Structure 1
Amino acid sequence: MSVDPTARVHPSAIVEDGATIGAGAVVGPFCIVGADVTLGADVELRSHVVVTGWTDVGAGSVIFPFASIGEVPQDLKFSGERTKLIIGARNRIREHVTMNPGTAGGGGETVVGDDGLFMAGCHVAHDCRIGNRVIIVNQSAVAGHCQVEDDVIIGGLSGIHQWVRIGQGAIIGALSMVTNDVVPYGLVAGPRAELDGLNLVGLKRRGVAREDIQALRIALLTLKQGEGTFVERARRLGDETGSDYVRRMVAFITGASDRSFLVPK
Structure 2
Amino acid sequence: MTARLTVDGCQKDYVCFDFVPRHHNIIRFRKGVAVIKDDYSTVCSWVQFKNKEAWKYNILLAQKPVPVRCPVAGKFNFTQRGDVPFETRILGGVTLSPRPNLYCKQNISDFSVCDIDQKEIWIDETYCLSVDHLGRPVDIYSEPDYKLKCIGYWKENLKSYLITYDELDAFSKYRCWVYQRADLNRVLMSQAMGPFCDLKQDVTSWNYTEGATVAVEMVEYERERDQCPMFFDDGSNPWLHSENYIKIFHFGSGSSAMRSAWPYITLLVLVAAFL
- TM-score of the superposed pair, with normalisation by structure 2: 0.20
The structure with more helix, counted as a fraction of residues: 1
Query: Structure with the greater relative contact order (CA < 8 A, sep ≥ 6): 1 or 2?
Result: 2
Of structures 1 and 2, the larger Rg is shown by 2
- TM-score of the superposed pair, with normalisation by structure 1: 0.21
The structure with more strand, counted as a fraction of residues: 2
